[in-house]
Amino acid sequence: MATEASASSSDFIKNLGKMYGAYTGGFIAFIILLAVLEQVGVPNKILGYLFVFFTLAVYAIIGVMTRTAQVSEYYVAGRRVPAFYNGMATGADWMSAASFVGMAGTLFLLGYDGLAWVLGWTGGFVLVSILIGPYLRKFGAYTVPDFLSFRYGGNFARSLGVIVLVACSFTYVTAQIYGTGLIASRFLGMQFELAVFAGLVGILLCAMLGGMRAVTWTQIAQYVVLIIAYLTPIIILSTKQYGIPLPQLTYGQAIADIAAREQQMLSSGLATVAGLKPHIQPFINYSPLNFFAIIMCMMVGTASLPHILMRYFTTPSVREARQSVAWSLLFIFLLYFSAPAYAAFSKLEVYTNIIGANVGALKPWIFNWGELGLIQICGKNAGSIDAIIAACKSIAGHPGVVRLQDFVINTDVIVLSTPEIAGLPYVISGLVAAGGLAAALSTADGLLLAIANALSHDVYYKMIDPNAPTMRRLTVARALLVVVAVIAAATAATKPADILAMVGWAFSLAMAGNFPALVMGVWWKRTTATGAICGIIAGFGLCLFYLVTTRYFPGMGVKYFGMTSLINPLTGAPLVDIAKAMALPNAMESFPTLAHPLANKIGWFNLTNIACGLLGTPLGFLVIYVVSLLGREPSKEMQAYVDDIRKPRGRTVLEEKTT
């Protein structure tokens, strides 16, 4: 039985190229089929449904086919995933709804300063590979807390690891489920709450029966969908406008055109100097400190996020784990180096065809998004021509053409509206929706699995019932997965206000909580259990304190902790008048709007709380170092284990009972 299973699974690995090749071809044929259906007059709504249900059905089928009853398959996909495919799965795991839908919009809004996110969400993989990932693979853990527990003397360190993991993953998964709800409600016209739970069913079908194994093979399928969906519209757009199907190169011209148009808008009075933020001018949305702080926190956060690290537990060898990180970044790079092209093409379109246009002569695609409240002109939702004309008339001295200050666009619209801007058929819009859904679902799968695995493996099996038989372990794991998923969906359905900032916070929390202990555990043998435990508590604690105080208790921050107002990077003026704000108790708690890219108004050193990891992490390292030196050095056995982790050859340090 066992040999039969392993023989059939090695056949499975050998045929991966054929299978996913056929799948990709099938997907492209499906797009062409829908394009034909559109031409013969099938309504858009039906096309949208077909897209979403076809892709969801494929993920669900893969999820069901790859179900498993083996522990090592459930937790680490049997450690058989080749580097190339694991790279693809990590790409889908990594790229969330925020990357797919939000990134281009952020770049549209912030120009150069938005590139902090592009840099931050790519460069971290260098740290994964050189500092942590391959060593954890050699160690042989199922979860990140596994390593902390083994290296740092048991269940106290393990429970700290679980707390950090849940803190950073839960907020993040909530944002993903929110993202699925948003996309489904926009494209299918479903009610938002209903869409959230429909997305939830999709996620559970993928992850519940097969754990890591099922999630891996669906994530690869989801990567194919999301990357085709992301690149197709701008490749067509670039070919149409510049004759070359390489948007990543042709948008250089668009940037030059934007700069020229910006000058023109200023000289013709369509924009004011105060209102126009030149696209390529650096440090006008973030101060240099915050720009580099965000890059640092996103990068180090990448190397500390459990759902990313655990993807590298699934490769057959340490060598392949390293190669796999490189493949991951290549697949991620394909999307991230295209995002600025989306931003530039959209911005050029808005600046040339909307700004300066007569309010009565706007293109119809605007109204589709205006109706949903995502585009506003003259302070009102741009639902129809009449609404816009009326709104602009009511502004005293309005010239009758749209000025820059009259136009407000929600950042999510940039990617979703590009097919319409380019005048492409609806089938491309449907494709983009399917891609956004794939991005949100795949990330949600990875995160849910990370949380549920920590609870079932670390808390239940390792701490509560170490003698639990395999069947019960897997049942508990599945039950917990459903419970966590339902809680996350219920949270998402309430549309929490801070949802976008939460993704940024997750990185800082992971960085402050995990990074020092993981790096020191591998790279410095002298690190003691007490040192690491103190370091995790101090680093994570300081990060959490800064975040919570600046966001929710700014008054206390000013009164007791010497916090001051952040500075507007453009004007150098404080964001809030502290004396006034202290008199009005809620003045500093109101959340800075989307147009303001910082998530807090007061703090230390003018530092945004998204980058609170920059405070916690150095403290974590320092505490680990000092406390370790004060204590006795770790036992000879422990030091020998660390030596073992450093050598790829040989058995894993931790041998899990698998039957």
Partner 1 sequence: MADSASMKAREEAHWAKTSRLMFTHLGVWFFFGFIIHMFVVPLNKFTIPIVGFPLGFYMAAQGSLIVFVVMLFMFARQQDKIDREFGFAEED
Residues in the chain: 659
Among 76, 296, 366, 502, binds partner 1 (CB under 8 A): 296
Answer for which of 76, 81, 103, 118 binds partner 1 (CB under 8 A) is 118
321 or 578, CB closer to partner 1? 321
How far is Cα 50 from Cα 187, in angstroms, rounded to an integer? 11
CB of 636 to partner 1, least distance (A): 12
First to last CA, the chain: 14
Q: Does 129 bind partner 1 (CB under 8 A)?
A: yes
Q: Is 115 in the site for partner 1 (CB under 8 A)?
A: yes
Whichever of 51 and 135 has its CB closer to partner 1, that residue is: 135
| Closest by CA position to 174, among listed 514, 448, 474, 430 | 448
Amino acid at 521: G
Q: In this structure, what DSSP letter does residue 404 have?
A: G
- Does 289 interact with partner 1 (rule: CB under 8 A)? no
Is residue 104 within the footprint of partner 1 (CB under 8 A)? Answer: no
33 binds partner 1 (CB under 8 A): no
Structure tokens, 393: 């008339």
Distances in Å between the Cα of 471 and the Cα atoms of 3, 68, 128, 285, 647 are 21, 11, 33, 54, 34
Span near partner 1 by CB under 8 A; candidates 64-72, 126-134, 373-381, 407-415? 126-134
Sole binder of partner 1 in the list 37, 42, 163, 330 (CB under 8 A) = 330
Which one, 79 or 478, has the nearer CB to partner 1? 79
Is 618 a binder of partner 1 (CB under 8 A)?
no
Using the rule CB under 8 A, which residue among 182, 329, 366, 503 binds partner 1?
Answer: 329
Q: Is 648 in the site for partner 1 (CB under 8 A)?
A: yes
132 scored as a contact of partner 1 (CB under 8 A): no
Determine what percent of the chain falls in helix, strand and coil, rounding each to the nearest 5: 75, 0, 25
Q: Is 106 in the site for partner 1 (CB under 8 A)?
A: no
Determine, following the binding rule CB under 8 A, whether residue 239 of this chain makes contact with partner 1.
no
Token pair of 577, please? 């008048």
Q: Is 64 in the site for partner 1 (CB under 8 A)?
A: no
- Residue 408 three-state SS: strand
Phi and psi for 656 in degrees, rounded to 5? -85, 145
Which residues are within 8 A (CB) of 477 and not within 5 positions of it... i.e. 6 or more apart?
74, 211, 452, 453, 456, 457
248 binds partner 1 per the rule CB under 8 A: yes
Q: Using the 8-state DSSP alphabet, how is residue 592 labeled? A: P
Stretch that binds partner 1, among 150-158, 322-330, 540-548, 561-569 (CB under 8 A): 322-330
Contacts of 307 (CB under 8 A, 6+ apart): 93, 169, 446, 447, 449, 450
**From the list 23, 49, 192, 333, which residue makes contact with partner 1 (rule: CB under 8 A)?**
333
Q: Based on the shown chain and the rule CB under 8 A, indicate whether residue 136 belongs to the binding site for partner 1.
A: no
Asked if residue 363 binds partner 1 (CB under 8 A), the reply is no
Residues 518-537 that bind partner 1 (CB under 8 A): 523
Min separation Cβ 286 and partner 1, Å:
12
Nearer to partner 1, 352 or 530 (CB): 352
Binding residue for partner 1 (CB under 8 A) from 85, 125, 150, 426? 125
119 interacts with partner 1 by CB under 8 A: yes
Q: Which residues pair with 409 in a beta bridge?
A: 375
One residue of 20, 23, 292, 604 binding partner 1 per CB under 8 A: 292
Q: Is 622 in the site for partner 1 (CB under 8 A)?
A: no
**What residues are paired with 137 via a beta bridge?**
none
Residue owning tokens 């799948």? 23
DSSP string, 66-122: T----HHHHHHGGG---HHHHHHHHHHHH--HIIIIIHHHHHHHHGGGGHHHHHHHH
Q: Interaction with partner 1 in 334-353: which residues (CB under 8 A)?
A: 336-337, 340
Near partner 1 by CB under 8 A: residue from 250, 381, 550, 606? 250
Rounded CA gap, 614 and 542, in Å?
Answer: 10
Question: Across the beta sheet with 375-377, what order do the strands follow?
Answer: 380-381, 375-377, 407-409
In whole angstroms, how close is the CB of 186 to partner 1 at the nearest point? 28
Interaction between residue 649 and partner 1 (CB under 8 A) = yes
99 binds partner 1 (CB under 8 A): no
Q: Which is nearer to partner 1, 36 or 249 (CB)?
A: 249
Residue 652 near residue 641 (C-beta atoms within 8 A): no
> Which is nearer to partner 1, 299 or 354 (by Cβ)?
299
Binding of partner 1 by 405 (CB under 8 A): no
Name 555's Cβ contacts closer than 8 Å, sequence gap at least 6: 581, 582, 585, 588
Q: Which of 299, 375, 413, 518 binds partner 1 (CB under 8 A)?
A: 299
- The smaller minimum CB distance to partner 1, of residues 44 and 281, is found at 281
270 binds partner 1 (CB under 8 A): no
Rule CB under 8 A: is residue 652 a binding residue for partner 1? no
Whether 619 contacts 539, CB under 8 Å: yes
CB of 355 to partner 1, least distance (A): 22
Q: How far is the CB of 176 from partner 1 (least distance, A)?
A: 24
- Hey, how many other C-beta atoms are within 10 angstroms of the C-beta on 269? 11
Q: Contacts for 539-542 with beta carbons within 8 Å, 24 or more apart?
A: 539/512, 539/513, 539/616, 539/617, 539/619, 539/620, 539/621, 539/623, 540/160, 540/163, 540/164, 540/167, 540/509, 540/512, 540/513, 540/616, 540/620, 541/616, 542/512, 542/612, 542/615, 542/616, 542/619
Task: Tell me which of 21, 25, 154, 252 binds partner 1, using CB under 8 A.
Answer: 252
Can residue 632 be called a binding residue for partner 1 (CB under 8 A)? no
110 binds partner 1 (CB under 8 A): no
CB of 117 to partner 1, least distance (A): 10
Does residue 249 belong to the site contacting partner 1 (CB under 8 A)? yes
- Residues numbered 174 to 233 that lie near partner 1 (CB under 8 A) are none
Between 30 and 333, whose beta carbon lies closer to partner 1? 333
How many CA atoms does the CB half-sphere of 418 hold within 13 Å? 33
Residue 461's alpha-carbon distances to 230, 467, 472, 477, in angstroms, are 41, 8, 10, 10
Stretch that binds partner 1, among 216-224, 313-321, 406-414, 539-547 (CB under 8 A): 313-321
Amino acid at 449: L
SS3 331: helix
Q: Considering the complex, what minimum distance in angstroms separates the CB of residue 651 from partner 1?
A: 11
Contact footprint for partner 1 (CB under 8 A): 112, 115, 118-119, 122-123, 125-127, 129-131, 134, 248-250, 252-253, 255-256, 280, 282, 288, 291-292, 295-296, 299, 317-319, 322-323, 325-326, 329-330, 333, 336-337, 340, 523, 643, 646-649
